Structure 1
Amino acid sequence: MTTTIIGFPRIGEKRELKFATEHYWKKQLNQDELLQKAHEIKLAHWQAQQEAGIDLIPVGDFSFFDNFLDVANDLNIVSDRYRQLGLSKLDEYFSQARGYQDGDQTVKALPMKKWFNTNYHYIVSEFTPETHVQFNGQRLLDEIREARAAGINSIKAVFIGPYTLLKLARFVDGAKPTDFITDLVQAYQALLANLQELGVDYLQVDEPALTFDVSQQDQELFDQLYDQILAQPTTVKVILQTYFGDVRDVYQDLIQKPFAGIGLDFVEGQENWQLIEQYGFPTDKALFAGVVNGKNVWRNHYQTILQQLHQLPAEVSVVLNTSSSLLHVPYTVANENQLDQDVAQHLAFAIEKLHELSELAAIVAGREGSEKYLAENQRLFADVKHPVNVVVQKRVEALRDDDYTRLPDRKTRIALQNEELDLPLFPTTTIGSFPQTADVRANRRQFKHHEISQEEYDQFNEDKIARIIRKQEELGLDVLVHGEYERNDMVEYFGEKLGGFVFTQNGWVQSYGSRAVKPPIIWGDVSRTAPITVAASVYANGLTDKLVKGMLTGPVTIFNWSFPREDIERKEVVTQIALALRDEVLDLEKHEIKIIQIDEPALRENLPLRKSDWFSQYLDWAVPAFRLVHSGVAPTTQIHTHMCYSEFSDILQAIDDLDADVISFEASRADFTLIDDLVDHQFQTQVGPGVYDIHSPRVPSQNEIQGLIEQVIEKIPAENVWINPDCGLKTRSEEESFASLENMIAAIQAIREDVDEAS
């Protein structure tokens, strides 16, 4: 019984890659030092897999920023604007992910989107008519040599497949996917030839896009690619790897193609079991069975998996696998010495999941120790102690339809709000957070380690709030925020204030590039035990005559960016969170906070990959949960929300149905393509399309921002437009943030003057 994984977390056990990369960007490390640190991290990860008994070890899953970007560069899919910078290959790579600015030389970063239904962001490759695809993947080949030199012999090379590459990429200036089929075929054949020359036995081609709805045209594209790629004789065994769902549209085709193995997700893709039962599985291929959950942190229930595996035909050759890359879970539970044992014993992070695979393999093969593994697992699942809150459960049961409806209608509310709030044309604001500078992080760390008192901690944050209120007034913003200096993370902070959550010390998960988040774990029924944001919002509101927004994270995002419990329905958990936040919203309103922003950046994230499942399995409870949070406020209280880095165009009706008054979107990094979608949909909510990209260190000029704003107001009625950055400023420096906001304010002032002159 062979074991493998799809991929491993790459930021390091203690986020070593994050810190090394950021030091490199700040010129505190040179390139050789960064490469050496990367080598040490890769070596540690390969050895950890070897020690856990993993048989087939993936190589090529490491990345300095993003694997999708890696593959684009390996295939020569790099726009000329980055090549013309004259940078080293590594810096050219980073310029695509982060943008580049040096004096007058400035280039925007490539768009960034969510990776399927996860909180991981990938960098969107860009095809133009001038793109010449060819394999130049020295990165992967060098990494294979690294692994060999380290004594890793059973290697599985990992590379994103051409179909997923084309489905997720961006095509500009008239380029289209079919233009690149021939070159892609030749590039992947060159990849196989290079792997064969190196003596690599396995290539894992990742094709998660097969878990989307696959049209006839899509099927033809897939066939054109793989019928030609696989026609070339090779000693390399090609494994087609899918994840994040089932392959119902293409299964019969896949099992006919000459792949050596097919990887199927049996966690999110439960229908894959039925596909095998209905159509069988060929005996000349290996089934890479994704039975260990790569996206959640709970221990695997061995008995359930064994029952499912025993239903497979005896002649099927099975390789035990993760359901997805372990990129989406933290490194190890061993680093969590403050978790209650009642909780910790039920958790499995990346390292523990390696051992689960080895134990499952031992049980299936009947090896020594297997009875002990199974008995211990059964004992564990017989002793789960999720905390119960009867008051919360009764409150959920008592909900009625009108609890989800806000009155009066949006049009009437907007008229009342315009009179109450008295804002200028094109109101300006930010999304919420301001830079978490070194002193802010130090203050939080000192308080956490009991080095300063609660009074000292609070006083520091109040001083920061007062300073940023003054700064926003100086900049000329219309609606201010308190800066969120007290918040470690937009989800973790709320989880810490709500009953039902538990927290890790080192449970970091990569979000994008060097950015990592530490998702809380939902362990019991969720409740609000005390006010969460009221004190900071009220304090800020008392410092200025301008409007100050109250800032909350929405129920769907808190759920999606946490590790949820699996013993009750998702709808029930989200409803519990929504009720807790509803109490917070009403409390803010009671304290005269007239604008309240309820952020839902992750609304689309957990959307099922197949459109037929969107409403029946997700939007039917996600949209009402948001409405439940704000439906009790007065008509004059303005409700905002924020969304970013996802494909929103196909759920605009659901977003409109949230019944918020104002929605801010990420837009600038994707060249404002969302604006046309809003117009086509006749979107009714007021909108604030982000006019500059905060995930890049470059400072956009006034002219650049002004040009983007002019694009917006050409298409959307002026009275419906707000002006803001595309996300919170937490990860940026103050210097970058203030300079960008100055240019944003100057741009909108110039536009207001033009509008006044025209009228």
Structure 2
Amino acid sequence: MKSSNLGYPRIGKDREWKKALESFWAGKLEESAFLAQMEQIRQQHLIKQKDKGIEWIPVNDFTYYDHMLDMAVMFGLVPKRFAYDGGPVPLDTYFAMARGNKEAVASEMTKWFNTNYHYIVPEFGERPPVLAENRPLKAYLEARDQLGIVGKPVIVGPYTFVKLAKGYAKDEFERVVDQIVPLYVDVLRELELHGVEWVQIDEPAFVQDISEQDRALIRRVYEQFSQALPHLKLMVQTYFEAVDWYEELIALPVEGLGLDFVHGGKANLANLTAHGFPQEKVLGAGIVDGRNIWRSALEEKWELVKTISNVVDPDRIWLQPSSSLLHVPVTVEAETDLPGEVQAALAFADEKLGEVQLLVQGFRFGKYVISKEIAQNEKDLLRLAESPARNREKVQQARKALETTEAKRDVPFHERRDIQQAAWKLPLLPTTTIGSFPQTTEVRQARQQYKKGNWTVEQYDAFIAEQIKQWIAIQEEIGLDVLVHGEFERTDMVEYFGEKLDGFVFTKNGWVQSYGSRCVKPPVIYGDVQFVAPMTVKESVYAKSLTEKPVKGMLTGPATILNWSFVRDDVSRQEVCEQIALALQAEVEALEAAGIRMIQVDEPALREGLPLKQADRAAYLDWAVKSFRVATSTVAASTQIHTHMCYCEFHDFIDVISELDADVISIETSRSHGELVSVFETCTYDKGIGLGVYDIHSPRVPAVAEIEEMVSRGVQVLPPAQFWINPDCGLKTRGRAETVEALKNMVAATHAVRDRLTQKA
């Protein structure tokens, strides 16, 4: 039995990866110094895994931004707008694809399956793919020659890579796969020639619903690999769910197959025991959760591996995490301030690798060698289970009462719309923002001063009030129609609420990558969630006192808080989400009682939690949508509920959006170049829609004409009265000057379209 890893967190123990990236982008690091720092970080990660005893260490899982972007540039898939002339893609072009520049809009970004990681979407169609650079080979040679580590190169498989790309028609999928397979062969052949033994080919798309036609394509692709690469061993790695077409999968002509025995584990185990496993193949058994932060129940894992080893010879088993560990923080070492029962139950990347190695040692030398660790593990997990935070009877009873409660607004939308328009008297195409404004160095320093105890509550509150006052004035000067307070008191849209609700704890250094250098520190939901006191009323009421214009209250929705947190694993996610919804309902009612009658409850991660299997989606959507309505349905008809979603496929989600029964939903349209607007050319939708008309993830300021064109297209497919105009997401990561300039252009473009429509009328 061997130990293996599928991928290691890129960001570093102290986010040194993020800091190097941002210093380079800011011009504080020369390219050579940046590359040297990245090499040092990358090699430290490899050495750490070796020191943990991991035998099959992944290489090429490290990236300067995103692994899908790495695959795209390896194959020369650089859109023409980036002025690429061939050969290895320059670093500035690479980052321009990810972030945009003054000349070109960034490539689209969307979620990596049902995780909170965002990948850059490869674009086919503008130029034929070519092998520009063999990145896995460079990574392998570096690890071998400089560190003496014979690694396992990792690449995204052809089926998954093309399935997650864009730029081709649906009926062209097979042709595009066939077009790129020879380039994969070239990459793999070079690896083979340099002595590589195993290559990990990640095919997470295999766990989705796969048609018979696609299964035939997959067989043909891997038969080509087998014929072209007689001496290279391929480990086809699946994760995030079970594989439904198990019997066909295990028949693929490859030397190893990786299965997730955590997420979808019951189905994978049932298939394994019912249909067996080829004795000539290696099984990569994902037994430690690569996506959550709780320690494994070692006794249960021991029994699981025993069951697996009854089917597969232990000599043909690699024990490993269920997925890449990029979804969890690096190490628990810094977490010394948590409640004891929580701290003892946590396992981040390094600790998870320790669990893998511990189980391998137990099976090699006998269970007795790890008996003390198993006994302590059981004691620690029981202590958490029996904690008062996990046994709040009132919370559990209130949640259970929802089973017989219908959550819905008293007045239907078509009546609310007229009531709200009469109350607000907003112009055609009202302009607003998603909620946050730039978190400048000054804002971040003030927060640190307060957290360190150098500032009193009064000093910090006065600073936040001054920021709100400044930005209310700026918004009025720009000419926005509906204002926000700016969220200067919030580090993160989920963390802020978790800090004010019971049932959450926060790590000191539990950072994970969300996209590019953007790292988040997810809250840990460890107990029953309970409302304590109003969380947003003070700032919203103060902002409202400064202007005659409407001011939105800003909350994060229950499904997003759930999906962007590390969630307890002893009860269902539905139960946790409904507890959060009840807590948010109390906050919504507090805002309304304080005179805030526009309330935005953001759900950018609602779709993110969607199960990967079509058959499982209806149940999830039922409770996720109900949770949103539980939080928002008790307000008066004149109170306008907004929500926001970003970077998800809306064409198959429009009915769900409607079921939320929000009065206005804002959507991202900028990076997809207005593709989301096309949804409304074929779908009926009757509620308010906020068009996200420019990309806030790029420093680029859009021209008035560019925004005007996007708005004009929108009003051609739905009645103008339905549309609101806004950026595609919050503005906390942008600079002050570019934010003001971009919003001025947005307002100018809106006024131009508004004037034309008014004249026509």
TM-score by shorter chain over 0.5: yes
1:314, distance to aligned residue in structure 2 (A): 4.7
Give the match's secondary structure for 1:276.
helix
Match for 1:181: what amino acid?
A: V
Q: Any conservation in 1 of the 2:559–2:627 contact (CA below 8 Å)?
A: yes
Higher deviation after alignment, 388-397 or 465-474: 388-397
Q: Which residue of 2 aligns with 1:360?
A: 359
Q: Which residue of 2 aligns with 1:259?
A: 254
Q: 1:109 aligns with which of 87, 100, 106?
A: 106
Q: Any conservation in 1 of the 2:428–2:720 contact (CA below 8 Å)?
A: yes
Separation in 2, partners of 1:688, 1:580: 27
Separation in 1, partners of 2:194, 2:160: 26
Match for 2:717: what amino acid?
A: K
Q: Any conservation in 2 of the 1:192–1:234 contact (CA below 8 Å)?
A: no
Higher deviation after alignment, 14-23 or 143-152: 143-152
Deviations 1:611-639 (CA, angstroms, capped at 9, x unpaired): 111012x1121110000001100000000
1:561, distance to aligned residue in structure 2 (A): 0.5
Q: Structure 1 525/174 Cα, relative in aligned 2: closer, same or farther at 3 Å?
A: closer
Q: Does 1:138 align with 2:140?
A: no
Deviations 1:699-757 (CA, angstroms, capped at 9, x unpaired): 11000000000110010110100000000001111111111111100000111111122
| Number of positions where the alignment pairs a residue of Structure 1 with one of Structure 2 | 752
State, as a whole percentage, how many aligned pairs show the same letter. 46
Q: Which residue of 1 aligns with 2:38?
A: 38
Match for 1:319: what amino acid?
A: W
Separation in 2, partners of 1:568, 1:163: 35
Match for 1:538: what amino acid?
A: V
Q: Which residue of 2 aligns with 1:303?
A: 299
Separation in 1, partners of 2:342, 2:148: 35
Q: Structure 1 642/147 Cα, relative in aligned 2: closer, same or farther at 3 Å?
A: same
1:172, distance to aligned residue in structure 2 (A): 4.5
The equivalences for 1:489-508 within 5 A come to 489-508=492-511
Give the match's secondary structure for 1:479.
coil
Separation in 2, partners of 1:83, 1:140: 25
The equivalences for 1:584-595 within 5 A come to 584-595=587-598
Q: Any conservation in 1 of the 2:84–2:93 contact (CA below 8 Å)?
A: no
Separation in 2, partners of 1:553, 1:152: 48
Q: Any conservation in 2 of the 1:133–1:180 contact (CA below 8 Å)?
A: no
Q: Any conservation in 1 of the 2:558–2:580 contact (CA below 8 Å)?
A: yes
The equivalences for 1:275-314 within 5 A come to 275-312=271-308, 313-314=310-311
Q: 1:149 aligns with which of 141, 145, 150?
A: 145
1:176, distance to aligned residue in structure 2 (A): 2.6
Q: Structure 1 243/19 Cα, relative in aligned 2: closer, same or farther at 3 Å?
A: same
Separation in 2, partners of 1:288, 1:267: 13
Q: Which residue of 2 aligns with 1:125?
A: 122
Q: Which residue of 1 aligns with 2:401?
A: 398
Separation in 2, partners of 1:397, 1:180: 50
The equivalences for 1:617-636 within 5 A come to 618-636=620-638
Q: Which residue of 2 aligns with 1:735?
A: 737
1:153, distance to aligned residue in structure 2 (A): 2.5
Deviations 1:117-163 (CA, angstroms, capped at 9, x unpaired): 001000000000x4322333333222222211332433100000000
Higher deviation after alignment, 593-602 or 298-307: 298-307
Separation in 1, partners of 2:462, 2:755: 41
1:78, distance to aligned residue in structure 2 (A): 1.6
Q: Any conservation in 1 of the 2:73–2:89 contact (CA below 8 Å)?
A: no
Q: Does 1:546 align with 2:542?
A: no
Separation in 2, partners of 1:685, 1:63: 41
1:400, distance to aligned residue in structure 2 (A): 6.2
Give the match's secondary structure for 1:526.
strand
Q: Which residue of 2 aligns with 1:94?
A: 95
Separation in 2, partners of 1:84, 1:167: 24
Higher deviation after alignment, 459-468 or 678-687: 678-687
Q: Give TM-score, length-normalised by structure 1.
A: 0.97
1:403, distance to aligned residue in structure 2 (A): 4.8
Separation in 2, partners of 1:732, 1:526: 33
Q: Give TM-score, length-normalised by structure 2.
A: 0.97
Q: Structure 1 205/189 Cα, relative in aligned 2: closer, same or farther at 3 Å?
A: same
Q: Which residue of 2 aligns with 1:337?
A: 336
Deviations 1:455-500 (CA, angstroms, capped at 9, x unpaired): 0000000000000000000000000000000000000000000011
Q: Any conservation in 1 of the 2:100–2:107 contact (CA below 8 Å)?
A: yes
Mark the runs of 5 or more structure 2 residues left unpaired by the alignment: none
Higher deviation after alignment, 644-653 or 38-47: 644-653
Q: Which residue of 1 aligns with 2:700?
A: 698
Separation in 2, partners of 1:315, 1:334: 36
Q: Any conservation in 2 of the 1:134–1:183 contact (CA below 8 Å)?
A: no
Q: Which residue of 1 aligns with 2:580?
A: 577
1:223, distance to aligned residue in structure 2 (A): 2.4
Separation in 1, partners of 2:132, 2:241: 31
Higher deviation after alignment, 361-370 or 53-62: 361-370
Separation in 2, partners of 1:405, 1:220: 46
Q: Any conservation in 2 of the 1:697–1:736 contact (CA below 8 Å)?
A: yes
The equivalences for 1:150-549 within 5 A come to 150-172=146-168, 176-248=172-244, 250-270=245-265, 271-312=267-308, 313-316=310-313, 317-367=316-366, 369-384=369-384, 385-386=386-387, 387=389, 388-399=391-402, 401-549=404-552
Provide the aligned C-alpha RMSD in A: 1.6
Give the match's secondary structure for 1:605.
helix
Higher deviation after alignment, 383-392 or 111-120: 383-392
1:674, distance to aligned residue in structure 2 (A): 1.6
Q: Any conservation in 1 of the 2:140–2:152 contact (CA below 8 Å)?
A: no
1:54, distance to aligned residue in structure 2 (A): 0.5
Deviations 1:245-271 (CA, angstroms, capped at 9, x unpaired): 0111x3212211221110001111221
Match for 2:357: what amino acid?
A: S
Q: Which residue of 2 aligns with 1:5?
A: 5
